[in-house]
């Protein structure tokens, strides 16, 4: 039993340090319109509220993001001053621009009306964002907790685990107390 506690503690420590290089950075610039038609200008729109952000690079990221967002909403959906964004990262290739007229309405129709103001497809060069946020080529899904100044205070990547979410909640609790 003692080994399980030690292993859990080590995993928690590793998870909390997983993407420490992002901490303190201002979230990168992104702009566009949500599925609800609201203009979004990141990082300016992050200021004054705590934000949970998911970035998805690829189709498989949607299922991973869905689990994280579902858990986030259970705990924080009605908390004043807390918001969330889901950013599928599509890039700016000619192919993406060509299929966007079909892709966007399809994805919008699959998003519940109450969630449409939180989803914005990102059609801009991805490499500068990946480099700034130190993303690897292996991982497709990233999560960020951003403070009221637009600074990243926590980040992680990949599949949902209870250890990762406990670390997220710990950081969220600190922000909510400020």
Report the alpha-carbon distance of residue 90 to residue 83 in Å, rounded.
Answer: 22
- Give me the mean pLDDT over the 31-36 stretch: 96
Beta-carbon count within 10 A of 130 CB = 17
- Give me the mean pLDDT over the 47-55 stretch: 97
- Give me the mean pLDDT over the 22-39 stretch: 95
The pLDDT confidence band at residue 72, using thresholds 50, 70 and 90, is very high
Q: What is the CATH number of domain 2-177?
A: 3.40.30.10
Report the alpha-carbon distance of residue 116 to residue 73 in Å, rounded.
Answer: 14
How is residue 60 annotated by DSSP?
T
Q: Is the pLDDT of residue 106 over 50?
A: yes
Residues of the chain above pLDDT 70, percent? 89
Q: Is the pLDDT of residue 4 over 70?
A: no
Structure tokens at 3: 């080994």
Give the per-residue pLDDT at 39: 97
Give the per-residue pLDDT at 47: 95
Given CA atoms 85, 62, 56, 123 in this order, what sign does their dihedral have? Answer: negative
Give the per-residue pLDDT at 94: 87
Give the per-residue pLDDT at 178: 84
Give the per-residue pLDDT at 19: 55
97 compared with 40, residue with greater pLDDT: 40
């Amino acid at each position: 039993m003692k080994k399980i506690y030690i292993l859990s503690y080590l995993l928690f420590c590793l998870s909390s340090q997983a993407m420490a290089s992002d901490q303190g950075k201002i979230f990168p610039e992104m702009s566009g319109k949500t599925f609800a038609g609201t203009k979004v200008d990141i990082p300016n729109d992050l200021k004054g509220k705590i934000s949970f952000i998911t970035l998805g690079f690829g189709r498989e990221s949607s299922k991973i993001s869905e689990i994280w967002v579902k858990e986030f909403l259970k705990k924080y959906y009605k908390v004043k001053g807390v918001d969330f964004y889901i950013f599928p990262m599509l890039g700016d290739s000619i192919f993406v621009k060509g299929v966007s007229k079909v892709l966007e309405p399809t994805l919008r129709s699959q998003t519940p009306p109450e969630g449409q103001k939180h989803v914005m497809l990102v059609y801009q060069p991805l490499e500068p964002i990946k480099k700034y946020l130190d993303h690897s080529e292996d991982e497709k899904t990233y999560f960020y907790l951003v403070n009221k100044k637009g600074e990243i205070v926590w980040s992680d990547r990949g599949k949902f685990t209870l250890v990762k979410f406990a670390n997220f909640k710990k950081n969220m609790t600190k922000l909510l107390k400020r």
